[in-house]
Amino acid sequence: MTKEELVSKIAKEANVTKTQAHKALNAFFDGVTSALKKGKKVSFVGFGTFSVGKRKARTGRNPQTGESIKIAARRVPRFKAGKSLKDAVR
């Protein structure tokens, strides 16, 4: 499903215009993103939890040259599916 397909579904289900649905979806994305930037968790009971994880610095390898490279530590977004979502997909 693409973003536009999701906007269409939201507009139809909520009986709002596509413009309103698009604004609502963008507000949702912005809210989750800003919370994760601050290092906070975002939980939706039954659906899942967005959080921030940490990756350690490590040594990698350039596949073209075989040369070793250093990969810096970084924060990465994570998602853990909730029970209802897991059960719905089974």
Ordered by start, the domain boundaries in the chain are 3-89
Question: For strand 58-61 and strand 68-71, is the pairing parallel, antiparallel, or unpaired?
Answer: antiparallel
Q: pTM of this prediction?
A: 0.80
Query: What is the model's pLDDT at position 53?
Result: 96
DSSP alpha helices (H): ranges in the chain? 3-14, 18-37, 83-89
| Site of tokens 């215009």 | 17
Segment 59-63 shows an average pLDDT of 94
- Residue 8's pLDDT is what? 96
Say which CATH superfamily domain 3-89 falls into. IHF-like DNA-binding proteins (4.10.520.10)
What's the pLDDT tens digit per position in 17-58? 999 999 999 999 999 999 999 999 999 999 999 999 999 999
Q: Which residue has the tokens 């536009």?
A: 4
**Side-by-side strand order, sheet with 42-44:** 42-44, 48-55, 74-81
